[in-house]
Structure 1
Amino acid sequence: MFAVHFLENKNVLLCQLLRQVPKEGEELKIKGRKAKVTSLEPIDEKTFHVQVTLEPVKKTKTVVADTSKKKKK
């Protein structure tokens, strides 16, 4: 079992105990977001730091239609 720390820049995203360490270029899903392993840094024989890049979140604009009825005066 290996202690794997997933990092984006210097922010820790996730720490897990895994049986296999992910390889460079591998596609992952972390917290529901797609990520790609960019580098792997062994700290000691059981601990690894894995640098990942997350896919940017696409923001969708919601169109709000005016459904209010105007009163006649």
Structure 2
Amino acid sequence: MVNVVYYAKGDILLSQLLNEVPLEGQGIKIKGKKGEVLRVEKINEKKYHVQVEFLKEDKNKKK
């Protein structure tokens, strides 16, 4: 298992122990927000930093 730390705009969003590291370009959902993995950086054997960018959602969008 590896420790994966998710970042967005320099802020830590979430830290998780996972069996697999997310891939660049992979879609992801954190705290109810949809986003995309921009970059995965290996710090050491068991720690990864993942840069995430959230998608803009129009709150006035009709369903």
Query: TM-score, normalising length from structure 2?
Result: 0.88
List structure 1 segments (4+ residues) > 3 angstroms apart after TM superposition: none
Report SS of the residue matched to 2:59: coil
Letter aligned with residue 38 of structure 1 = L
Q: Which protein has the bigger strand share?
A: 2
1:58 alignment counterpart: 58
- TM-score w.r.t. length of structure 1: 0.77
Unmatched segments (≥5 aa) in structure 2: none
Q: RMSD in angstroms over aligned alpha carbons?
A: 1.4
1:9 Cα deviation from its structure 2 partner:
1.7
Corresponding position of 1:38: 38
* TM alignment of 1:1-73, pairs within 5 A: 1-60=1-60
Higher radius of gyration, 1 or 2: 1
Query: CA shift at 1:25, angstroms?
Result: 0.3
Structure 1 residue 56: Cα displacement:
2.0
Gaps of 5+ in 1: 61-73
Quote the offset at 1:58 in angstroms: 2.4
